[in-house]
Amino acid sequence: MIPRLTSGWQIMLADLSLILFIVTAAAIDTDAAPTPAQGLAARAEPVAVFRPTGETDLTSWLAERPLDPREQLTIVARYGAGGLDRTRAQAEALAQQADAAGLAPRIVIEPGEADDVAAVFAFDPAVARNLQRSGTPAQGR
């Protein structure tokens, strides 16, 4: 009677896979690890949004609002066809008002379907991590 090896090829395949994994892992150069690419700024969910109207300006809106050092003020400006210069001027005006109020805003200008400018407070993950590490309030607050 001839004994049958029912699982011999499976063990051999597992051994070869393990050898291939070890050889591949040994060939990786850990000293020359690539630096992660810096992607687009992550946007958090807005906590408060200001859209300029004739009734109120950003300075008075900021005076009424309690400030949290973990929040980042971002001025988002979207421009439609031919509206880049006008939208940029509106965003710069809001940034000057925020600067006068002691805040350091981030400005994002991007194409959109129509002209739209808004000041948005959100808990920015990068700002929160920096605050957590340093234990100090955000710059400009």
29-66 pLDDT, tens digit per residue, is 777 666 665 555 556 678 888 898 877 788 888 888 88
Question: Which residue in 3, 6, 23 sits closest to 15, CA to CA?
Answer: 23
List the 71-79 sheet strands across, edge first. Answer: 46-50, 116-123, 71-79, 106-111
CB atoms within 10 A of CB 66: 6
Residue 16: strand, helix, or coil: helix
Please say if the pLDDT value at position 2 is more than 70: no
Please indicate, yes or no, whether the overall pTM of this predicted structure exceeds 0.85.
no
**Kind of pairing, strands 71-79 and 116-123?**
antiparallel
Residue 111: strand, helix, or coil: strand
Q: Where are the domains of the chain?
A: 46-134
User: 8-17, 56-65, 124-133: which range is least confident on average?
Assistant: 124-133
Residue 99: strand, helix, or coil: helix
Looking at CATH, the fold of the domain delimited by 46-134 is given as: 60s Ribosomal Protein L30; Chain: A; (3.30.1330)
93-110 pLDDT, tens digit per residue, is 999 999 998 888 999 999
